[in-house]
Each structure stands twice: as C-alpha cells, then as structure tokens.
Amino acid sequence: MSIGVGYNLLKEKTLLSFHYGYVPEDKGGELHIAAVKFQYKPFTIHISDKVIFHPVNPTVFASYTFGKQFGLKFDRDQYAKGYYFWSPALREHLAFSSEFKILGDKSSKIKAISLYTEANTNDLYMISWFENRTTTPINDIFHLGFGVKMIF
C-alpha cells in the first residue's frame, strides 16, 4: 500500500510525484519504501464532458527501501567488491498505466478522482528477463497494481 503527492506539469501532460509505501510483516517482511515518479500522458480521450481516459502513460521512477539490511551497496565484509553490481536498496523502474479521470463539480474542493491501473518492472527483473528470455515469459517480470487519485 502506498500514499503519495504529485504535481501536474506541462498542462497536465506530465506528473511528478513522491510516494511512501509500506509492506506489512505478514506480506513478506516489513518494508518502508520511498519513490519518486515521473509520468508522461501522451494521449487524452474525452469520453464525455466529465470523463477523461489516458490509455497509455509511460512512467519511470526510482524507489529506495529503508532498513539496516538495505544499504546502497552490499557489505564488503561479506561479499567481494563487484560481486553484486546492484544496490540492495535502490531500484529503477519502468511502468505503464491507464487512467480514467472523473471530473468533479467546479464548486467542489476535489477537482477530479482518477481510477488507474499500473504495470511495472524494475532493473533487476529486466536484467533477469534479458538473460533468461527462453525460460522467463515477459509477463513474469511485471507487477500489476490498482489505485485511486484525488486531484485538488
């Protein structure tokens, strides 16, 4: 589960947002994650005067997982320098989302509510897929999420 705040740029064609995510202990270990996202909305389809559809929104983002077991580098006392080239805490992500935006009344404090779905992958999953394309289907490296945005 995550919560975030964002700001629309370039006449709502792009969105810069900051997120905090939490994974409870019973879902794989307690994790606290911060992320910075940049989303581009190249297509806008006006379904009605109150409903807007953004069918394909490419997104890039970086996430950082907090905790003593998640440093920027692996412990050199345990692993030789260069043994692992990636960071345990920092991930780079690629995502694609679709969004339905329902516009509110002009007198309302909430300008719109968006319902969205997002598929994303990260650098390690992509590397694993490139190295194992014959045994790993591409859909195995993506995760799917759903969410709600409130625009004020």
HSE of 112, CA atoms in CB hemisphere, 13 A: 17
Ramachandran angles phi, psi of 48, nearest 5°: -155, -175
Instruction: Kindly state the greatest CA–CA separation across the chain.
Output: 62
d(CA 28, CA 26) in angstroms, rounded, equals 6
- If one compares 28 and 71, the residue with the highest pLDDT of the two is 28
Residues 9-13, mean pLDDT to the nearest whole number: 89
- If one compares 48 and 67, the residue with the highest pLDDT of the two is 48
Report the chain's mean pLDDT, rounded to a whole number.
90
Residue 28 pLDDT > 80: no
Q: So what's the pLDDT on residue 18?
A: 97
pLDDT band at 74 (very low <50, low <70, confident <90, very high): low
Residue 76 pLDDT > 70: no
Q: Are 125 and 136 in contact (CB under 8 A)?
A: no
Residues 87-112, mean pLDDT to the nearest whole number: 92
Residue 61 pLDDT > 80: yes
Residue 75 pLDDT > 70: no
Range of lowest pLDDT (31-40, 96-105, 127-136, 140-149)? 127-136
Amino acid at 147: G
Helix (H, G, I), strand (E, B) or coil at 127: helix
Angle, CA of 19, 21 and 27, to the nearest 5°: 160
pLDDT band at 136 (very low <50, low <70, confident <90, very high): confident
